[in-house]
Chain A
Amino acid sequence: MTEPVIVSDPPSAGPVKHEDLKLLQEVILRTPGDPGLEMCIQCGTCGGSCPSASAMDHTPRAIFAMLRAGMREDVMKSNTPWMCVSCYYCTVRCPQEIHITDVMYTLKNMSLESKVGGNSTASDFSKTFISLVENYGRSFEIGLAGFHNVKHFITRLPSMTPMAIGMLTKKGMSPFPPKRIKGMDQLKKILKRAKELEAV
């Protein structure tokens, strides 16, 4: 019998600090539409379906339980929403039709605003990505990987060389900044207006 593969570390045990019973309601109110998050039955369909679960410190289901328990700081610190790749498996399969992916975006926003989450490397990765898109109108993978790792994980760089070479050769990615898209000025206006509307 093959042992089942366990793919990430368990969350730390210990008493829950700072019970904040308004937290769940706050997340629900900040999510566009009605995410139905209060209906979670903790079945784990989301965590079982998630392709990024192995990189998350808590499964989405565990995050929802933590929201109920009012563990604001732990949720804001968690890398879970930042690992979400918006594949929507969880949302499609959720037996309670909870808009899980939407909730992940809310948690990213709340995390950025919070002291503990705003300075994390995970949120900074997202910020770097957005700044590149705002600059070029498209993504720039090698630049993103380079900037991020030089800024936060400089000691890791040697071990990442093979991956960098792979990106350049097999994947055919350019090491040079991409060409800006046509109509950058229009994109900037659109993004500016979007920021005004959503007040983020």
Chain B
Amino acid sequence: MSAEEKKPKERVGVYVCHCGTNIAGVVNVGEVSKWASDNLSDEGVVVARDYKFMCSSLGQELIQKDIKEQKLTRVVVAACSPHLHEKTFRNACKGADLNPYLCELVSIREQDSWVHTDKIAATEKAKAIISGGVARVIHHEPLEPLHVPIHPATLIVGGGIAGIQAALEIADAGFPVYLVEREPSIGGHMAQFDKTFPTLDCSACILTPKMVDVGNHKNITMLTYSEVQKVDGYVGNFAVTIKKRARYIKTEDCTGCGICWEKCPKKVIDDHFEAGLGYRKAVYTPFPQAVPKYPVIDDINCTYFVKGTCKACEKFCPTNAIDFNQKDEILTVEVGNIILATGWDLFDARRVPNYGYGRLANVFTNMEFERLSNSAGPTGGNIVLRDGKTTPKSVGIVHCVGSRDKNYNNYCSAICCMQSLKFAHLVHEKTGATVYNFYIDIRTPAKAYDEFYQRIIEEGTLFVRGKVAEITDAARNPGEEGKLIVQVEDTLVGKQRRIPVDMVILSAGLEPRYDSKALAKTFGISCSADGWFIERHPKLDPVATMTEGVYIAGCVQGPKDIPASVVQGAAAAARILGKIQQKEIALEPVRATINEEQCSGCRICNTLCPFNAILFHEDRMVSEVNPALCQGCGTCVAACPAGAIAGTGFSNEQILSQIDGLLLLNLNKKEAVPAVLPQV
């Protein structure tokens, strides 16, 4: 190489962040920045600095000052993951009139200081990472973001309290909402509850006005008894395919008078809304205040669909609104943003055999108890045993059923403590029974929650600290005959106790929807190993996801109570309203492009693209990338056997130079020599 060729074309600035002691506690940042200015000058580094917090405004100003004074053409920041601060430093460069894509953020925190304890080796690694960043950034090109318009409509999946709140916020702001709900009515789990903690106001009384608002809102299109089948497109321009199941009711004619379900001869155990404690008819609305008011005919149980005769509902319907020939409809709606608020399923208490649910009649689940206690429920609000008439004289309430247990779910279901305290109050109030609460820890961290706990203690609930070992009807001691015996270690006494009671209520935990993984796939977002959907950032961005334009709210993100679900519904709505107001969205210009001359038309990339962004031109036998759909994932770039596809911002030249840099090959060394790791 001649000296002429070696002369660097670009002027690079290197900025090493201490991140307090996050980086500086392990990596010798001073040594690293000195090394960069001493050893990478041939690569174009003209200035290298370290600073306590590069992301602070002072840190950013430092970079901007250098860009202007030192006429920098490239910037490398060695700090945290690009997830966190790539935008920050790109904007800083933009503020100093340097194209933001000429800045490279390399991670010496997540990929170095946080994962190593050997300070000397970590310092050497930081040097290599920076060398790679410098080698790469030289080949960067200035890029401009793509601007696409945002469709003003929003799709909300799930009509529980989180979805309802989000729908009302967006609709009240004047933008159209499609609210999709799988069940015949919106309302979700909250519609099933009796009272709500800690204020004990009636759940239906505070929920149904909101449901009615949704039903009457001119900006909300409710699609109940419907499910999302497919999502195409991208942020700002999604096309969503929705299956609207046949209700067998002409909604334009139905008045919701209720004669059909009154006359329907077919009784079905309602294991959904009434948690198996009550009956509904084959034509039904789940509950009296259902929104919309129209019933559905359950074609699995309807006598006409099973045997071919009956049609009692049709005969008696005063407006001829029954239509047995209705078919499922497939609709496509266009929306700019999506909120997933699909909620949770109840942990199946049968999975804990030692608690006897399903085997011992008077062991109830929390959902069953809600219906028992609800004045609109099957017993008219009387708390009675499974025989339907006996009032219990003693009740045991078991916390943490299926939660905080590595045999079932390892997480805390968040609502069970407060729910169990609420149950204790309701049992006291309605039956005067002796109430035991069996708990591991009482968790009452929100506003007015601990005061509620104290109120329940004051009411005389007997608290036993211990996870219940088993519930049995096998009497061993006098007084246990005919009772359920709760066997538990009272850990505060250090004794095993056997407590005979008439009724046991299991506070079963919250689980992700059984089909949450399939749903995540449909919407292109990720869920945790447990099945809860993953937010963009657990603290700072709890309602967004890693997929632009798809937001999450309520229990779909993790167990939470009604106030927290409402907060998330409103928060997701606010995020989307902000986007809609911008009218267009800037997309990352990181896109794949196909060199038509090199493309052999093999179509391998066509099927691999996860975003369906590649078109095939039959006439010219070449493929082409639609830049609005492409997310820049790089799958096609790697797959193309002809090497005809280049990823903007991820060109072969950039990647290979970065690898050379990491191996310090750019420091005029002939062979690959890894960073020297000293003997410890």
A49-B494 contact in complex given A41-B440, A95-B405, C-beta closer than 8 Å: no
Contact A7 B491 (CB under 8 A): no
Find residues 389-405 in chain B having any chain A CB closer than 8 Å to their own CB: 393-394, 404-405
Cβ 8 A contact of B468, one of A3, A4, A48: A48
Contact B406 A47 (CB under 8 A): no
A167 CA to B275 CA, complexed, in Å: 52
A6 CA to B469 CA, complexed, in Å: 16
Cβ 8 A contact of A61, one of B354, B394, B491, B498: B491
Report the minimum CB–CB distance from A166 to chain B (whole Å): 20
A81 CA to B339 CA, complexed, in Å: 55
Say yes or no: is A187 at the interface (Cβ < 8 Å to chain B). Answer: no
Chain A residue nearest to B488 in the complex (CB): A48
Cβ 8 A contact of A48, one of B394, B404, B479, B487: B487
Contact A47 B496 (CB under 8 A): yes
Say yes or no: is A10 at the interface (Cβ < 8 Å to chain B). Answer: yes
A1-B394 contact in complex given A6-B495, A48-B488, A59-B489, C-beta closer than 8 Å: yes
Which of A1, A2, A53, A54 gathers the greatest number of chain B CB atoms within 10 Å?
A: A2
B354 surroundings in chain A (CB, below 8 A): 49, 93
Cβ 8 A contact of B479, one of A2, A44, A46: A2
- Give B406-419 as 1s and 0s: 1 = Cβ < 8 Å from A's Cβ atoms: 11000000000000
A53 surroundings in chain B (CB, below 8 A): 489, 495-496
Contact A1 B393 (CB under 8 A): yes
Contact B495 A59 (CB under 8 A): yes
Cβ 8 A contact of B407, one of A7, A49, A59, A95: A95
Say yes or no: is B581 at the interface (Cβ < 8 Å to chain A). Answer: no
Contact A48 B466 (CB under 8 A): yes
B487 surroundings in chain A (CB, below 8 A): 48-49
A45-B496 contact in complex given A59-B489, A93-B354, C-beta closer than 8 Å: no
Say yes or no: is B210 at the interface (Cβ < 8 Å to chain A). Answer: no
- Give A45-65 as 1s and 0s: 1 = Cβ < 8 Å from B's Cβ atoms: 111111001100011011000
- Give B491-505 as 1s and 0s: 1 = Cβ < 8 Å from A's Cβ atoms: 101111111100000
Cβ 8 A contact of A7, one of B405, B478, B495: B495
Contact B500 A2 (CB under 8 A): yes
Say yes or no: is A11 at the interface (Cβ < 8 Å to chain B). Answer: yes
Contact B469 A62 (CB under 8 A): no
A53 CA to B490 CA, complexed, in Å: 12
Cβ 8 A contact of B495, one of A1, A8, A49, A93: A8
A62 CA to B407 CA, complexed, in Å: 22
A10-B489 contact in complex given A44-B465, A96-B406, C-beta closer than 8 Å: no
Cβ 8 A contact of A44, one of B393, B406, B488, B500: B488
Chain A residue nearest to B499 in the complex (CB): A4
Say yes or no: is A133 at the interface (Cβ < 8 Å to chain B). Answer: no
Say yes or no: is B348 at the interface (Cβ < 8 Å to chain A). Answer: no
Cβ 8 A contact of A5, one of B393, B465, B477, B493: B477
Report the minimum CB–CB distance from B487 to chain A (whole Å): 6
Listed A/B pairs (28) with beta-carbon separation below 8 Å = A1-B393, A4-B498, A4-B499, A5-B477, A5-B497, A5-B498, A7-B495, A7-B496, A10-B494, A10-B495, A11-B494, A43-B467, A44-B465, A45-B466, A45-B489, A46-B489, A48-B466, A48-B488, A48-B496, A49-B469, A53-B495, A53-B496, A54-B496, A58-B494, A59-B494, A61-B489, A93-B354, A95-B406
CB within 8 Å of A: which residues of B?
Answer: 354, 393-394, 404-407, 434, 440, 465-470, 477-480, 487-491, 493-500
